[in-house]
Amino acid sequence: MDAEKRTPVSFIKNLLVARWRSLLLLFLGVYLPLQIFQLLAVQVWQYQAGFPWDVPILLAVHSTANPQLDILAVVLTKLGSFWTVLPILTTVALILLWQKRWRSLVYLLITALGNALINRTAKELWHRLRPDFWTSLAPELDFSFPSGHAMTSTTLAIILLILAWQSSWRWVVWIFGSLYVFTIAWTRLYLGVHFPSDIIAGWMVAIAWGTGVSMIIKPHLVKTAPVPGVQPATETTLLPEEQDDLAANN
């Protein structure tokens, strides 16, 4: 009976059952966003004009322009800039440092710095020019693909969501984070400084990077203090087959 349980097929089945949440997160949070980004990137690389739906969406957003929205868009778009998000992340980092949450702190630093590096590298590689259909109220001078504001706002939202995931605040962070990300995206389109595909690409890269780093760093993993008479928990959960093999080797 034990021999039947330890067949390769049963081991793979047990592994998939035990790790289905991680595999689903890997698929939805890393693989799928990267595939979407790849489709966008290839199209932009071949044709600077991008997609047929880029310009109609941009013009549709611009058709709603009025003086009140002009002021609102100029003010709100600053909330998605790197220099606005930096003080927020610095404050969170200091709180994590004070709480000695080292894994969470490392996760925040790697995710934030990686976001800036990836965005700058991608812009220089693709060299996509920004749309030029009207005079923007907040013009930008660098390249367009992927959107830095979209990446920065999404990265901030993901960092806060992952750090709050095991608390009762996660749904509040999810709701307000989503509103924040979509608001920043609207401002970039309204101001005419990005194509919609720039925004989507920024979202996808930020989601894949933030999720991937969290799966490696595991920011919520903590080192537990040993309790007399209680077997300490291992850092990773082993399958029964792996535990038996480990015991046999020891």
Residue with tokens 């005419």: 192
Give the per-residue pLDDT at 113: 95
pLDDT at 174 over 50: yes
pLDDT at 90 over 50: yes
Q: Which long-range contacts (CB under 8 A, 24 or more apart) does 36-45 make?
A: 36/200, 36/204, 37/146, 37/201, 37/204, 37/205, 37/208, 40/197, 40/200, 40/201, 40/204, 41/126, 41/145, 41/201, 43/197, 44/126, 44/128, 44/145, 44/197, 44/201, 45/126
Average pLDDT on 124-142 reads: 88
pLDDT at 202 over 80: yes
Please give the single-letter amino acid code of residue 214.
S
More confident: 17 or 77 = 77
pLDDT at 106 over 50: yes
**Percent residues over pLDDT 90 in the chain:** 60
pLDDT band (50, 70, 90) for residue 196: very high
